[in-house]
Structure 1
């Protein structure tokens, strides 16, 4: 019904207008036609009455009989009659001398007054009531002789309904004409409206489909006039919307791809607090809480996050804080989203995993404390020994020598610490050249074992080799750094292996590269420390800082990276730890390069 509302309104409006027009025409016809037809009738009777006045003069002078007069007037329209009207003849005193109707004396009232008036004018016309026959139209003229003396009066009258008879016939014709014209008008109107409504309906259908995102539809522009211009404007609008929507879609998809490609988690809400967008990175940062009734808590199960969103929405200020999600440290920054008018329409939060940065910062702080402690310990010892020597408090030569030995040992310890720092710095900066060369690992293993046997025996630790390293093919690497690596790994194993434990050296050389392992039966390392074991300044046992500076494994990792090799660790608490590294075989092509 709503689709035809315009057509219905037009039809109703036209129908009402047409009816009002017909009523107006009818009222004007009724109002004006009466006087028109009355004037026409009187205009017809007046000249006839004047022409008949000459004959009436002869009648009043006795030259013509009344039969002749009566034969000239007849209301029945006989062929012999000249005038179709009633006749009344009076003398100059107003007395009726002759009438064509016996009731004339009763019909014409006040004749004497009009007879008197006719003595001064050439005619009178008036309408008066005539009893049962209704109103009559009367035309009177004076009857005069040749000398101009008034002999009497001649009155012709007809009932008013006879004067209006033609009007009734015309009114009937008018009604018939309207009945014929009305359907024709409405048929023509329907055809015209159809030509107007059809393109408008098409535009409406296309507009509804455009609302669903179909901007490729067009309407017919061949219609003439304003409808055609409207169709052209509509098609131009459709093309413009298509381009605009395509551009917006492209920008939206690009924005979504950017957000989805970000490593930081993104969450956006509208002004009602409903989540409008999250990216995959956010889903990785937080584990979903399916048991929560709040849909927002299912995404981020931290109440303080949503309280911060609400605070930002209320105050318009940026909120920043950090929270912990299991073992991860997440930095949160929430900012308001404003409209062009400056009104807050929502908020967006950026969630960044700063666990590595936090761990690195924590490690650095611990390292500074450890290095400070490592440096302070020998410096304190040296100071404590130098002061009594300077003051001459130590006189015994053996005691002095022992003091000097301790001072030398502490200075060497401090020197090693500084050397480790400098070497690690050179490795990380790439300024330390590690030129590879051909070497035999078997001889190197024997030298290393021989070097560390006294240290292990002192701590009651066994140092054994489970592989025939002499059978290993020649290797291609920097032998000094490989020997340093073995020393770091064995030294590390000695520190964390209790008395009665064992340190085992083993290797395999059946694959593309040789692999070598240094295993111990020490206390082992927990899984949470393994990912950070090769980090700079990292120490597993914080309580025994004197057991090392935490730089050895970092140096080992940096050396292997520079040489293009790998090093890994496996450990189980209470059972021990195994470090494994690789080394490529020597090939003839390496000799050509050298």
Structure 2
């Protein structure tokens, strides 16, 4: 199992912080200790200078440093000890642990610096002396008497004795730093966790999407780029869901298309086959009856031809292989052709065909004359087919500076509201049209033609009839 990103990130940051804490603590301790010792050294040096001057002037001196555990020794020019402190000198048993216990040990510790002091120089340093286990403070001062160098004065104190006073402060400092570290890690955890949560949610959602569940969404209120990533993830999920739904609809449309084509072809083919078999078996002897069968076969053949032509035409339009070039088009010849073709048919059906003055006088448009006439033919053919006797079919137009709106309205029984969204689908027929001889592709063809012309078509319907409206741009 893969390690949690939250755990891994928190662990790495914690290690960095702990390492930084250790380094800073060590560096801080060293810097503080050095600062303390050098301050102490700077404090002791003037005191040693004062003691050396007192010895040079009076031959004797006293100092509180002896009671604080410092070793202070004076030597003449022959490196012999000078008794200058009297009875105030501590005994060996009174000296702190780590200091030399006998005179020879003290001589060994200061021997490397005697020549420098006797030469008139000064020493103030923190170093490791011979015969001592730890670093020590060493201060050396020459002793002058009446302007003449008579010896040297030395002070020794182990560093451990001085820094022990610092431990209280160091412990307090380290506890405070440790508390700050713990609080920092806790705050860091509380900050990182909500930042990692969207990633965990996206991981779970992506796994669900991999299984086909595209309804998953994640909160997009994360920090900065994480919020943008979550938002992008939701957009991706939404598009995948749309693509899935589109794929389902496409598959259903394909199945419906095959079923509709099969249904539309089966009926005329069955009729032609039945009538052909009847004629072939010489079962009809009446010439008029034979003539009626031949006529029916002809009608069914034409219906098949019409269906196949419409299917091929729609396929060419939808594939883009049937390019439509637009040009300036005069509307008058189109209306005249429509009138001559449909006025007689409307009269035979006892339907009034009304072409308004606006339709007769509509201005020129920018389109394709044959395709516009094809759209009007489809709409008028549908209107006449679904209008009862003594009804009315009206062709009208209106326009502004940019667009002409053409309408074809009938007084039929109308289309139910729930069917309106589907009237332009291939092979879609409402219940009232099943008895007709249409292919179910006419309105689909009309919509596809107008789409290629960059125009729109809409339908409005009520109990008083149906009205199709489409646009034609003037420029």
Deviations 1:99-149 (Å, cap 9, x if unpaired)? xxxxxxxxxxxxxxxxxxxxxxxxxxxxxxxxxxxxxxxxxxxxxxxxxxx
Distance 2:244 2:439 in 1: 25
Over 3 Å counting, the alpha-carbon distance change for 1:359 and 1:247 in structure 2 is closer
Query: Does structure 1 conserve the Cα–Cα contact (< 8 Å) formed by 2:385 and 2:436?
Result: no
Question: Match for residue 215 of structure 2?
Answer: 265
Distance 1:520 1:438 in 2: 29
* SS of corresponding position for 1:266: coil
1:197 to 2:147 alignment: no
Distance 2:277 2:470 in 1: 47
Deviation at 1:405?
2.1
Q: Which of 272, 275, 280 is equivalent to 1:390?
A: 280
1:577 to 2:445 alignment: no
Q: Which of 307, 311, 315 is equivalent to 1:425?
A: 315
Query: Does structure 2 conserve the Cα–Cα contact (< 8 Å) formed by 1:508 and 1:515?
Result: yes
Query: Does structure 2 conserve the Cα–Cα contact (< 8 Å) formed by 1:523 and 1:576?
Result: yes
Query: Does structure 1 conserve the Cα–Cα contact (< 8 Å) formed by 2:365 and 2:473?
Result: yes
Structure 1 spans left out of the alignment, 5+ residues: 1-173, 175-184, 216-241, 269-278, 285-349, 587-594
Q: Which of 525, 535, 540 is equivalent to 2:425?
A: 535
1:442 to 2:417 alignment: no
Distance 1:199 1:422 in 2: 88
Over 3 Å counting, the alpha-carbon distance change for 1:199 and 1:457 in structure 2 is farther
Q: 1:497-576, aligned counterparts within 5 Å?
A: 497-541=387-431, 544=434, 546-572=436-462, 574-576=463-465
Distance 1:431 1:514 in 2: 27
Deviations 1:408-429 (Å, cap 9, x if unpaired)? 1111110000011111111111
Distance 1:363 1:547 in 2: 23
1:471 to 2:421 alignment: no
1:402 to 2:352 alignment: no
- Number of paired residues? 302
Query: Does structure 2 conserve the Cα–Cα contact (< 8 Å) formed by 1:495 and 1:547?
Result: no
Deviation at 1:437?
3.1
Structure 2 spans left out of the alignment, 5+ residues: 1-93, 95-159, 219-229
Deviation at 1:480?
0.9
Q: 1:223-372, aligned counterparts within 5 Å?
A: 248=196, 264-266=214-216, 361-372=251-262
Deviations 1:233-253 (Å, cap 9, x if unpaired)? xxxxxxxxx9x8899589579
Deviation at 1:475?
1.7
Q: 1:82-101, aligned counterparts within 5 Å?
A: none
Deviation at 1:513?
1.7
| TM-score normalised by structure 1 residue count | 0.43
Structure with bigger gyration radius: 1
Query: Does structure 2 conserve the Cα–Cα contact (< 8 Å) formed by 1:521 and 1:575?
Result: yes
| TM-score normalised by structure 2 residue count | 0.53
| Aligned-pair Cα RMSD in Å | 4.5
Over 3 Å counting, the alpha-carbon distance change for 1:383 and 1:525 in structure 2 is same
Deviation at 1:206?
4.2
Point out which structure has higher relative CO (alpha carbons under 8 A, 6+ apart).
Answer: 2
1:379 to 2:329 alignment: no
Distance 1:356 1:498 in 2: 39
Over 3 Å counting, the alpha-carbon distance change for 1:561 and 1:189 in structure 2 is same
Query: Does structure 2 conserve the Cα–Cα contact (< 8 Å) formed by 1:489 and 1:579?
Result: yes
Query: Does structure 2 conserve the Cα–Cα contact (< 8 Å) formed by 1:364 and 1:537?
Result: no
Over 3 Å counting, the alpha-carbon distance change for 1:246 and 1:354 in structure 2 is closer
Question: Match for residue 337 of structure 1?
Answer: none
* SS of corresponding position for 1:410: helix
* SS of corresponding position for 1:549: coil
Deviations 1:6-44 (Å, cap 9, x if unpaired)? xxxxxxxxxxxxxxxxxxxxxxxxxxxxxxxxxxxxxxx
* SS of corresponding position for 2:338: helix
Deviation at 1:369?
3.6
Deviation at 1:482?
0.6
Over 3 Å counting, the alpha-carbon distance change for 1:452 and 1:263 in structure 2 is farther
* SS of corresponding position for 1:536: coil
Deviation at 1:256?
11
Query: Does structure 1 conserve the Cα–Cα contact (< 8 Å) formed by 2:409 and 2:466?
Result: yes
Distance 1:449 1:355 in 2: 45
Over 3 Å counting, the alpha-carbon distance change for 1:550 and 1:540 in structure 2 is same
Query: Does structure 2 conserve the Cα–Cα contact (< 8 Å) formed by 1:437 and 1:477?
Result: yes
Over 3 Å counting, the alpha-carbon distance change for 1:351 and 1:376 in structure 2 is closer
Deviations 1:342-396 (Å, cap 9, x if unpaired)? xxxxxxxx97796665555555444434332322222222222222322333344
* SS of corresponding position for 2:417: coil
Q: 1:169-184, aligned counterparts within 5 Å?
A: none
